Amino acid sequence: MVVAASDTTRDRGCATYFCDGTADDVQIQAALDAAGAGETVWLLPGTYNVTATLTQGASTILRGFGWSTIVDVGGVAAADNAITMGASGEVRDLKIVGDVSVLETEGRALQAANNAVIDTVWISNNNYGMSAVGCTTVTISNVRFDNILGVNGWGACVHSGAGTDGVIIDGITVTDCDRGIETENGAQNVTASNGTMVRVAASPYSFTLDAHTHLGLGQVDTVTYENFTLTECMPITALGVNPAERTQNVTFRNIVIVDPNLTGSLAYAVVLTRADHITIDGITISGIGAGDALSNTDTTDVTGLGTIQVI
C-alpha cells in the first residue's frame, strides 16, 4: 500500500491512496486497515495532516522516506496518541511534528506495543515523544527529538512505564526538551546506549537519563545507560520519589556531562536517592565544582563512585 500526500511529487503515480491535505488520517488509516501481517504502508515524501489517532494493525509496517515524509499531528486531540502501534508492528523513516502551543495533556506522539520496532523517527514540537507502557521487547534506534514540552514540564522523549519489560534504545539525539529518557513505575530491563542530549532543562522537573519509582506502581529494576554526552542538561537520576519506594539495579557507564544545569528541583549533576545496587562506571563532569557533582542519600550498594571525575 502506497499513500501520497497532497504535495507529493515523487513517485505519485505509484500511490493507491491519495490525501488532500485535510484529515489525511482517513486515507492513511484505510491503508493501515488494508495491510496484512508483514505488509508495509509507504508514506511518500510530503506533508500529511493528521487529525485523529492512527491505529496500526499487528505485524504491519508504517514507513516513510526519511525526513521528507512529515506526519503533522498538530490537529490530533491533546489527550490522544497520534500513532498507536500494533503488536510486532514497525514505524520507520519518518518525521512526526506537532503544535506544542495547543497541547494540554499527555497524549503521546507514538505509543509502542509488544515487540514493536521504531527506527529512524524524528519527533518534533510535541508534548510527549514515544512511550512504552505494558509492553515487552521494544526496540528503538536512531531516533531524534526536539522541543518536547509537556504542560506540566513532564514531556519525556522516551518513556517506559508500568508493566514494561525489555526496552532497547540505541542511538538517540535530544535537543531543547523537558526530559530525555524516563524509566518509571515498574519498568524493567531497559538499556539505552549511544546518545547526545543538549539543553534538556526546560522545566524545574527536567532530567536526562532517569530511573525512578513512585505512585505505588511497582519498582524500577535493571536499567542501564551507557555512552552518552549531555550538555547544559539537568541531572541523571536513580531514585525513589517517596520514602517507601525505591529503585534498584541501575548502571551509568561512560557518561560525559558538560556544563550541567543546576537550577531545577534536583540541583546536582548526578542524583541518587532511595536507590539500591547502583553501578557507576565512568562519569566525567566539567563546568561545575566538585560539591555540585553528586547527591547520594539513602542508598545501598553503590559501586564505582571513584570513577566520577570532575574536571
Q: What is the pLDDT of residues 272-303, one digit of tens each?
A: 999 999 999 999 999 999 999 999 999 999 99
Q: Is residue 111, in this structure, part of any structural domain at all? A: no
- Percentage of the chain beyond pLDDT 90 is 83
Q: Is residue 105, in this structure, part of any structural domain at all? A: no
Q: Is residue 246, in this structure, part of any structural domain at all? A: yes
pLDDT class of 105 with cuts at 50, 70, 90:
low
Amino acid at 174: V
Q: Is residue 185, in this structure, part of any structural domain at all? A: yes
Q: pLDDT tens digit string along 214-254? A: 877 789 999 999 999 999 999 999 999 888 889 999 999 99
Structural domain for 151, as ranges = 128-310
HEC-encoded secondary structure of the chain: CEEECCCCCCCHHHCCEECCCCCCHHHHHHHHHHCCCCCEEEECCEEEECCCCEECCCCCEEECECECEEEECCCCCCCCCCEECCCCCEEEEEEEECCHHHCCCCCCCEECCCCCEEEEEEEEEECCCEEECCCEEEEEEEEEEEEECCCCCCCEEEEECCCCEEEEEEEEEEEEECEEEEEECCCEEEEEEEEEEEEECCCCCCEEEEEEECCCCCCCEEEEEEEEEEECCCCEEEEECCCCCCEEEEEEEEEEEECCCCCCCCCCCEEEEEEEEEEEEEEEEECCCHHHCEEEEEEEEEECHHHEEEC
- Count of structural domains within the chain: 1
Q: What are the φ/ψ torsions at residue 50 (nearest 5 degrees)?
A: -105, 130
Q: Is residue 285, in this structure, part of any structural domain at all? A: yes
Half-sphere exposure of 101 (CA within 13 A, CB side): 0
Cell digits of residue 189? 530491563
Q: pLDDT tens digit string along 110-149? A: 999 999 999 999 999 998 899 999 999 999 999 999 999 8
Residue 150 has what pLDDT? 83
Calculate the CA 176 to chain-centre distance.
Answer: 13
Residue 101 has what pLDDT? 65
Average pLDDT, the chain: 94
Cβ atoms of 91 and 83 within 8 Å: the answer is: yes
Global pTM reads: 0.96
Q: Is residue 255, in this structure, part of any structural domain at all? A: yes
Cell digits of residue 112? 509502542
Q: Is residue 27, in this structure, part of any structural domain at all? A: no
Q: pLDDT tens digit string along 69-102? A: 999 998 887 778 999 999 999 999 999 998 866 5
Cβ atoms of 289 and 310 within 8 Å: the answer is: yes
Q: Is residue 239, in this structure, part of any structural domain at all? A: yes
Residue 106 has what pLDDT? 57
